[in-house]
Amino acid sequence: MKNDRNYKLLLTSQFISAFADNSILGVIIGQLTYMQQRGELTSDALRFRNSLYTLMIFIPPIFLSSVCGYLNDRYPKTSWLARGNLVKVVGAIFCLLSIWFGFWLQGVGYFIVGIGVSIYGPAKYGILPEILPRERLVKANGMVELLTLVAILTGGIAGAKLSDIFRDKIINSYLILLTLYGTSWALNFVMTPTPANKLIRFQSSTGEFFGHLVALFRQPRISRTLIGTALFWVCGAMLKINFQPWGLEVLKFTTNTQIAILGVWLSIGLMLGSVLAGMWFPIGDLRKTRLFLALLAVPVATLYLVHTSEWWRTPVFEVAGIQIIVPVTLLLISAGVISGLFLIPLNAALQDESDHTKLGKTIAVQNLNDNLGMLLAGAMCAGAASLHLSSSDLFIVVAALLLSVALVYRIPRKSVAPAQIH
């Protein structure tokens, strides 16, 4: 049933839900800042917990992607949108209970939110062809992506701000998040139900998913494209996890909001790089991917130098109580620009060169691959904390990883199909 009402409800629900997904992490790890300032956590303990809690949301999609894909194909997608948000409500309740029963429950709660994300994700895209005419699908997918990006940026800052404002009354932060998840659930609940497909069978659905995964990795060019996008998420996640300890130790920030702004600069650079990539590179042109991979190591490695000299920490401007350290800001924006130039051609090539009749499954495989990458990133950050590497040292680790992969990362040329004989 083509339904503009459903589309509007979907967009509103998606923004609120994604906003809360990013805010809740900001509230969880934001508490670590004040625990360290009170002397309850060492720097290494803060970094380890930061890594551990952050990676919790990446675990469920790895194990549930094929199952959730089946459920969303078999049953009405409107019902699974609502159920995904309801699971997130349960996750937020566990986080709330941590106030009385132990901080570790927040990790459990965030893990449960990850289950909700796994359920909700396939439905938010899969429902579009069921509620909109074909000619509107491209714009609709773009709108969902745009709102998700805005929710990621604003939600991360909002979570940091909540943890600062309610540092001594964290219950208020979780009550606000529960309200957001509840609102998103209610919007899904009142959507006009979409049809089910009783012909879908679990074994055939999951079998097709894993069969497509194997088929993609048997193709040298596509497999290396998937490895490249996963590497982007490995490095991006490591940088964002590291911002909290680095901001506290090196930049001497005192609030979570100041730390969250570091991620904003990286995201702004990524958006600029994405626009430039679309202007400069035709689809399938991956000749410069190794170059951008190596170039990305330069600003990342330079971030290591910030702790060695005051030169890298001046000049400083203050806007609305937020310190903008010019050299650091420029390094983060440049890292984001190069990341966009690296990532966007890979994404475009993957979508263009894979089987268009199975594009949904290709994106699902890519999401699985990228989540594995982010899980690896969290594990590497936790391992670095266990080895007592400093937050500045971690930038060298990321730069070394980028350069090492650049040395061996080669994408075969795109094969040209022979002309058809009529």
Mean pLDDT, 10 residues at a time, over the chain (422 residues)? Answer: 79 94 95 93 92 91 81 82 95 95 92 92 79 78 79 92 93 96 95 81 76 87 89 92 93 91 91 85 81 93 90 79 86 93 84 70 82 92 92 94 88 59 36
Q: Which residues, 6 or more positions from 139, have their beta carbon under 8 angstroms from its beta carbon?
A: none
pTM, full prediction: 0.86
CA–CA separation, 88 and 80 (whole Å): 12
CA–CA separation, 163 and 24 (whole Å): 10
Q: What domains can be seen in the chain, in order of their start residue?
A: 1-192 (1.20.1250.20), 211-412 (1.20.1250.20)
Cα torsion 407, 338, 65, 95: sign? positive
Q: Tell me the Ramachandran region of residue 65: left when phi exceeds 0, alpha when psi lies from -120 to 50, beta otherwise.
A: alpha
Cα torsion 81, 82, 86, 92: sign? positive
Q: Which residues, 6 or more positions from 373, have their beta carbon under 8 angstroms from its beta carbon?
A: 230, 231, 232, 233, 234, 237
- What are the residues facing 319 on neighbouring strands? 322
Please, are residues 395 and 304 in contact by the beta-carbon 8 Å criterion? Answer: yes
Please, are residues 314 and 378 in contact by the beta-carbon 8 Å criterion? Answer: no
**Using the 8-state DSSP alphabet, how is residue 166 labeled?**
T
Radius of gyration from C-alpha coordinates of the chain = 22
Cβ neighbours, 10 Å, residue 22: 21
Give the pLDDT confidence score for residue 313 in this predicted structure.
78
Question: 220-249 vs 4-37: helix axis angle to the nearest 10?
Answer: 40
**Using the 8-state DSSP alphabet, how is residue 307 labeled?**
G
**Using the 8-state DSSP alphabet, how is residue 104 labeled?**
T
